[in-house]
Structure 1
Amino acid sequence: MSADPRLRSRLQAQQPAAVPPPPPPPPVDPQPMGLDGASDAVGQPAVDVVSDDKFKLKFCTVCASNQNRSMEAHLQLASAHLPTISFGTGSLVRLPGPTVSTPNVYQFNSTTYKTIHQELTNQNEHLYMQNGLLNMLGRNLNIKGYPERFQDWVPGKPRLEHAEDQGAAGTEAGVVDVVITCEERCFDAVLDDLHNKGGKLNRPVHVINVDIRDNHEEALVGGRAIRDLALRLNDAADKERETHGEGGWASGSGAARQGFDERVPDILAEWQENWPNMPALWSLAWF
């Protein structure tokens, strides 16, 4: 497990993002739970959808370009009725192009998934349908409007303009309880950025990396794994609040929050036993 990022003195230089392998078309209605033996796992959450009358942790999913892995995880968590936002950590959005040396490059925070979809359709519909990019973008544009960059996010700034995003309900205040990254360099970038932002809200946030290869098959399985982890964490938080009350939770303090924070490493370790092919890292940070 990682140490408190406030004590970390290193600031890793960001490496140029590699162009990810293109994903094939995703299934129309993937089943998020009960595959790959996960349904029989010890400690598996009893439900795969959180009812609206239950407490819900707020989640953030992160990959390099906010296109494949973080968006599949975003979809899985939103489908479980968990408040969810998502980001990328790269300097630009990079997607495969006609050759390895000529990727398609776009700006974060302004270029919509719909625009990218239309541009690639006009550029070479057959190629991008065959390699799965158009299917991926079609999924994305039904989740939210455009890819966002984590380093440009201001924690605590209201996200009212994202009301139409899937998983938006509960994220309006612009804070989350758990950030889940999909690659170690994204994990490092998130921790470094949170350290640089200085924790002005003085609110704890758990940062967890679930290492997922950047192709569609791995992203789909990884999304299911992240959903499983999120439900375990949410169940633990709900039980702590039932035991100790919700006093101080909103400000990141109180007995329930302390109890939940202490349980996170053990929950992650139990989850890891059931998803051994997805190495995980954990650190506590602050907004």
Structure 2
Amino acid sequence: MNNWPNKSSPSATKLSIAVVCAANMNRSMEAHNFLANKGFRVKSYGIAERIKLPGLSIDKPNIYRFGTSYNDIYMDLVVKNEFFYREKGLLHMLERNRRIKKYPQRFQECDEQFDVIVTVEERVYDELLEFMSSRDPVDNRPAHVLNINVDDTLEGALQGSFAIADLLKMLSRASDLDNEIDKIVNNFEGRRKQQVLHTVVFY
């Protein structure tokens, strides 16, 4: 039996959480869905300049602006080749996404502050830290940025969600997160055999 926080559990809701991948399409959205269903206060973002999805050929990806609705992207792919994109799993992914929120969001355009920011790839982690260090300070509120590498496949995103939720469950139980987080991360790495990068940034 998993001792997951439920939606009425105060430990599940005390941390404000952002999950960030490249395009706010697969990994961050699977985690968003999974964590929200467990009662966590979570939002999701991408960090790339544009959204790139596989196309009918390798050299011709489908490119969209952030803010384009998941439904519009879905309909665009249906018109282009519904069978191909359904077989690829993209339509299933977009069906899930549009049930969660209206459109993909870019982290750099968000002015909300979070207690914990989880990235799913070291490149995304580096880009996020670079962006945070370039911002003008607001109130010097700290945020913990953690990276767990997640494969950018539908199955990988689901497995990554389990790991992210496991780590956040441990963090949500801390009575003093700033002082306990290093020990928690070490315990998680030992149990999961999975490396976690951790940096504190300031708003």
TM-score (norm 2): 0.94
| Matched position secondary structure for 2:100 | coil
**After the TM superposition, which segments of 4 or more aligned residues of structure 1 sit over 3 Å from their partners?**
52-55
Contact 1:50 1:56 in 2 (8 A): no
Which of 87, 99, 120 is the equivalent residue of 1:182? 120
Give the aligned length: 202
* Distance of 1:231 and 1:49 partners within structure 2: 11
Give the CA deviation at 1:260. 1.6
> Larger % of helix: which?
2
Give the CA deviation at 1:77. 1.1
Where structure 2 has 5 or more consecutive residues not aligned to the other structure, the ranges are none
1:97-145, Cα deviation, whole Å (9 max, x unpaired)? 001100000001x200011011101110000000100000000111111
Q: Which residue of 2 aligns with 1:69?
A: 27
| Matched position secondary structure for 1:206 | strand
Contact 2:5 2:39 in 1 (8 A): no
Contact 1:77 1:230 in 2 (8 A): no
1:85 equivalent in alignment to 2:43: yes
Where structure 1 has 5 or more consecutive residues not aligned to the other structure, the ranges are 1-33, 40-45, 155-173, 241-258
* Distance of 1:151 and 1:221 partners within structure 2: 27
| Matched position secondary structure for 1:142 | helix
Give the alignment's Cα RMSD to 1 decimal.
1.4
1:129 equivalent in alignment to 2:46: no
Give the CA deviation at 1:265. 1.3
* Distance of 2:118 and 2:128 partners within structure 1: 10
Q: Which residue of 2 aligns with 1:271?
A: 188
Q: Which residue of 2 aligns with 1:251?
A: none
1:226 equivalent in alignment to 2:164: yes
Which of 98, 120, 129 is the equivalent residue of 2:56? 98
Give the CA deviation at 1:269. 1.2
Q: Which has the larger radius of gyration?
A: 1
| Matched position secondary structure for 1:102 | coil
Give the CA deviation at 1:95. 0.3
* Distance of 1:92 and 1:152 partners within structure 2: 13
Q: Which residue of 1 aligns with 2:139?
A: 201
